[in-house]
Structures are given as C-alpha cells and as structure tokens.
Structure 1
C-alpha cells in the first residue's frame, strides 16, 4: 500500500466514513485531508477557533475559491472566445460567476446539508449556497492543488452550464440595462425606495421607478437591491423594443 492510499485510509477511518463518501461523490476524486472540507462548511456562528485563536469558518476559503473559480473561467473564455475583447470576456465571466448562478450550483449539489452552524437552516440567506460552493473550491485547491481544482470546475461548472452562445443573451442586471439606456437617451431616472411591511407583517421594500418624472414600474421584495432589480426588469420589458435599439 503506497503512501497516498495510507493517507486516504487514515483520513477515512479517523475523520468519518459518511462525510468522506459524500464529499468524494461530489468531488469525483478522493480527498486527502477532510479538515479543509469540514472548514468549508463551518458557519461563523459556530464560533470555532484554531489553536492560535483564529476563527475557523468558510469565509477565507470562500475568498480563495472565488479567485480560483475566476481564474479557471477566465482561461476557458480566453481559449474559447478568441475574438472577444477584454470587455466582452469580463462581461461573460461575470455572467458565469454571478451570485445567482453560484447559488444555483450550490443548491444543485445540496451543499447546505453539510453546513455546521448554530443558526437554523431556514434562517440562512440565499447566498449561503454560492458562498459554500466557493469555499468548497478553495478547500479543493488547498487539499489537492490547482489541477484538481481546475478539473472540478470544468466538470461541475463549465461542461454542464457554460454555453457561450446562450450566455451572450443572458441578462445579469436589468437595473444596469435601464440605467445605461437612460443615460444614452438623456432621460432622467429615479428609484424611490420605501419600507412596505405588507399584510403579513414581513419587512419588505417597495420601489417606484420613474423615468422623466413618470412612474414606469413598481415592485416589492425582501431587500432594496432585489426590489430595484425587479422594478428594473418590469421597466425593461415595457421598453424592450426601444432598449434593444440602443
């Protein structure tokens, strides 16, 4: 039995076979050190610390995974879109690594089931799915290196989800489109935001989007950003033909 197999056996025996098996199925290869992956699913509410008093949670791994993901996607786009300039490549990468898309990837793998937290799952924000997906990528990089990290991203992100032709038509921010159009057409726009508790007492935010002093769209959502985006989307579809000519 070689050294690597001994490490795998030790890791699986000492650190829990079920977690090892589940992670291996997601990764598509055997992890060497489960500690990186356990850290990738540790929420800050757990209040864990290492022997030096440093916090132990997924946030630093999330930062690292974000960089790794961006690097691999950038290299893929550079090779697959030889005619794309810097602006095009940047926009395409933003569509692939958007928070919405990362949340979908985390949900598809059901990563939230591994999270160790003192906060009930139902209280997690939507972005927890994308955050731990990035943390998982960071854990892979520390555990097995760049080549395994790249292979995982190709298998779990690029092959099933990255279709350049489809992504070219994908809108990642209706608000940006509305603002860009208004600025080009010299139109005055304004987002009027107010709190709207709704009939069930849930805290919501209402938005009225005005263009040239005329209200063109209204929306409500659980955050100001979401309400603005929803109102912008409605305005976009109302003015779609005009905006398409920009």
Structure 2
C-alpha cells in the first residue's frame, strides 16, 4: 500500500520484520498491522490521512493511557477489597507512573520500531512510556478489550505488580502517620500494653493514640512490627484526612 511504503520507506522484508516483532511482543497475531505502525509513528514524520488529520502515535497514546488505567483499576479493586478510593488511586498511580511506563517501554525495546525524522538519540526519556501506551491503544482498537486486558496482565500486572512491595517501596505507614501528625500539630504516642495472648512466640501489643484519642491497636512478634501494623490501621481510619492534609 502507498500508505505503509511512504511512511516507513522500507521494502516488504522490513514490513515482515515489523509484523513478526510486534507479534512476539503481543503474544498473539495482529489483525490489522497498520494500526500498530501508527502506534510508532512520530509526529516529526508529519504525515496526514486522506481527510487531512495528523497521523502519529499521540491519539493512540491517549487511548492506551485510558485502557491502562481502567484495567489496572479493575485489578486493584479485585485484589485489595479493604482499600478505599484514596488508597486504590495512589496504588494505581504508582503502577502507571511515567517512570514505570518508561521502564516497560525500555524492557520491550519499543524504540527500535519508532519511525521519526528526529535522531533517536535526541528523544526525551518519556518516549519509551509514550509508545508503550500507544501500543496498548493499538491493541484495543485491533483486538478489543479481552486481548488488551491479557496483554496488560502478562506484561504489566504479573511481572511487576506486587501490592505489598509497592506499598513498602514508597511509604512506611508509621512514617506517613507521624508526618501527618507533625504537620497538623497533633500529639501522638505508641505505647506497649500488656499482651494476654497465649502464643508460643512472645508478642508485643501496641496502642497508638493521636491527640489523646486511641486510634488503633495491634500485636506482632516485635515492637516494630506491631507499631507498623497499628499505624496501617490508623492510616486507613484517617486516610481521607491524611490525603487531603486537612483537619
């Protein structure tokens, strides 16, 4: 077709290489390879369709961003039934952060497919995440929601999404609660109280009070673990206030 020859300016062998490369990344056979070509077409190529509309990956990037958010949200909703809206929103933001999307694009070496008039060495870091999102958008248009969900599950959720690891990577609940108390000028205290449990291993029981009000209790095999556990419970009780930094 004139479209693919003009844009990619390559012999049929290169088109075949592109098809096979995309197929390996997707894990299934594309139905309309032209959609995927557009997912890697940089705006510097300055191409337009028959109606005069710009042809580049940016619209597919927009669509892919929405699909990623929807599918990740669905996963978190199912996997973290105790998480409220604020918690789920924060976790989703960590998973689809620009840094993480850039890493995904690099892992798949998507830059090799990009068609541009700008040397690839001049691209900013975000090009990797941008084309990853555009690829997701192309999958949705080409194969529909089930294939899009499977790709995100195989390439994002299964290898990278560990709820506990994501929580621990960024915050300690104790640190978060203490920081909030200090900003709000509220007193807080972690106190050990008598543990009447009959466990074989010694347990520590901790009570967390904020502004002289008992907010949470917890017990664990170390004082540190008990404090963190109590902090986590207090965090969920106060989450809307902590997130908004309001009294």
Q: Which runs of 4+ in 1 moved over 4 A?
A: 180-183
Alignment-derived partner of residue 137 in structure 1:
136
Alignment-derived partner of residue 32 in structure 1:
31
Matches within 5 A, 1:38-187: 38-171=37-170, 184=183
Deviations 1:57-91 (A, max 9, x none): 00000000000000000000000000000000000
Asked if 2 retains the 8 angstrom alpha-carbon contact of 1:102 and 1:133, the reply is: yes
TM-score normalised per structure 2 = 0.65
Question: Residues 148 and 15 from structure 1, CA distance in 2 versus in 1: closer, same or farther, beyond 3 angstroms?
Answer: farther
Computing the radius of gyration from Cα coordinates, the structure with the larger value is 2
Question: Residues 182 and 133 from structure 1, CA distance in 2 versus in 1: closer, same or farther, beyond 3 angstroms?
Answer: farther
**Alignment root-mean-square deviation, CA:** 2.3
Question: Residues 88 and 23 from structure 1, CA distance in 2 versus in 1: closer, same or farther, beyond 3 angstroms?
Answer: same
Matches within 5 A, 1:5-20: 16-20=15-19
Q: Distance in 1 between matches of 2:125 and 2:61?
A: 15
Q: Which runs of 5+ in 2 are unaligned?
A: 1-11, 186-241, 243-247
Deviations 1:73-113 (A, max 9, x none): 00000000000000000000000000000000000000000
Alignment-derived partner of residue 224 in structure 1:
none
Q: Distance in 1 between matches of 2:57 and 2:157?
A: 23
CA-CA distance at 1:171 after TM superposition: 2.7
Find the residue that maps to 1:169 and give its secondary structure.
Answer: helix
Q: Which runs of 5+ in 1 are unaligned?
A: 1-12, 187-245
Asked if 2 retains the 8 angstrom alpha-carbon contact of 1:78 and 1:89, the reply is: yes
Question: Residues 98 and 182 from structure 1, CA distance in 2 versus in 1: closer, same or farther, beyond 3 angstroms?
Answer: farther
Q: Distance in 2 between matches of 1:93 and 1:183?
A: 27
